[in-house]
Structure 1
Amino acid sequence: MFYRIEQFYHGLFPRISSKDLQLVHSFLSGAPLFLFESQPPADQRHAIDVALDLLQNQVHLSFPQKRILIQAALLHDCGKTRYPLKIWQRVYIVLCVKLPIPVQNLLEGLTTFQALSLPLILAQQHPKWGAMLASKAGLTEEVIELIRNHHAPHSEAGKLLYIADNHH
């Protein structure tokens, strides 16, 4: 519970230090960096926290493996820029994820109540949109696949990203 309150606070008042930006610039440049910068500050903060978690906990990975994983961490939610969500919609999504799958599916299907269905549809589709944006930005296929599957990982690296994402 306290974790979610803290997460909500950081979503309202994200702080990104110069050290955080150095980290971002050491892994992203050009179009991928622009893609990172196009995210709202709360999503940037979240992405940096996921990347830091991975850097601290995955010391056994080689530098090329870390590079791919950190690039994906910094951009895993970039698909959300396609249809930005308001803070209440983000809270609603977090609450709905705790509901049984049939209830989530019911809420997604309430097309006459778009206020209830649209945030869930956007949350479900953002990995696909993020992969598309990452492809256009010229990222490697490995990074694109990690972004595309960050909610349903198929690889060991994907599982690491999934775990770190859920910590933050």
Structure 2
Amino acid sequence: MSKRVKQFISAITARITEADRSFVKKYLNNEQAAFFWQMNLPDQRHALNVAYTALELAAGHKDIDRQLLITCALLHDVGKVKGDVSTADKVLTVIFDKFSPDWAKQWGRLGRGSKIDNLRHAVYIYYNHAARGAAMLRAAGVPEKITEMIAKHHEAPAAGEPAELSLLKTADSLN
């Protein structure tokens, strides 16, 4: 089964347990948790899966700031806000990205309205959620080391990037 099919099934069956809620409370302060809880349920589930995977990946590393890693994993998709993009528009966006990413990047536009506007908005969010989330967190006074990692979580690996960012990228790609 393809990764995208698994993601779709995970999205439509997403649940948050009490253990998940405790995990969020352990790693995020109240202000950060508010950003986490403003994502839709599938994105919350995805962020939790990324965080759990990141913890597993960090097990083999001694010099990892686990608090930073898990905070970033839980917050990496906060640029995707609940009610902002429909599931159908997300599916179409992934298809656009698969078959015509250059066109999709140019076509996407911030702003909701008509069905086409909403789809263009979904495409924009797909490509820009990392920068959008980092800007939201930065405006709320979240530390720069967190906002920088969130802003860069979809960028290609770079020489000298923090090990926590590398682990975040890997964990995200596995989920």
Corresponding residue to 1:125 among 128, 131, 136: 128
Equivalent pair of 2:27/2:67 in contact (CA under 8 Å): yes
- 2:19 aligned counterpart, secondary structure: helix
Aligned-partner SS, 2:84: coil
Residue 90 of structure 1 and its aligned partner are, at CA, apart by 1.2
Inter-partner Cα distance in structure 1 for 2:106 and 2:140? 35
1:97 aligns with 2:100: no
Letter in 2 for 1:125: N
For structure 2, list consecutive stretches of 5 or more residues without a partner in the other structure: 110-115
Q: Aligned ranges for residues 63-78 of structure 1 at < 5 Å?
A: 65-78=65-78
Amino acid at match of 1:77: D
3-state SS of paired residue (1:79): coil
RMSD: 2.5
Normalised by the length of structure 1, the TM-score is 0.84
| Aligned counterpart, 1:12 | 12
Partners of 1:93 and 1:115 lie apart in 2 by: 11
- The total of aligned residue pairs comes to 166
Question: What's the counterpart of residue 112 of structure 2?
Answer: none
- The amino acid that maps onto 1:158 is L
Deviations 1:124-166 (A, max 9, x none): 2211121122223332211110111111154243232122112
Structure-2 separation of matches of 1:131 and 1:83:
19
Aligned to 1:167: 174
8 Å Cα contact 1:83/1:122 also seen in 2: no
* TM-score (norm: length of structure 2): 0.81
Q: 1:13 to 1:70 in 2, by over 3 A?
A: same
Partners of 1:78 and 1:152 in 2: CA distance: 17
What residue number does 1:29 align with? 29
- The 3 A distance-change label for structure 1 pair 83 and 16 is closer
1:31/1:138 contact within 8 Å kept: no
Q: Which structure dedicates a bigger proportion of its chain to helix?
A: 1
| In the alignment, structure 1 residue 40 sits paired with structure 2 residue 47 | no
Percent of matched pairs sharing the same residue: 28
Give per-residue Cα distances to partners, 1:8-48, cap 9 Å, x unaligned.
Answer: 12212211111111111110022001111111111110000
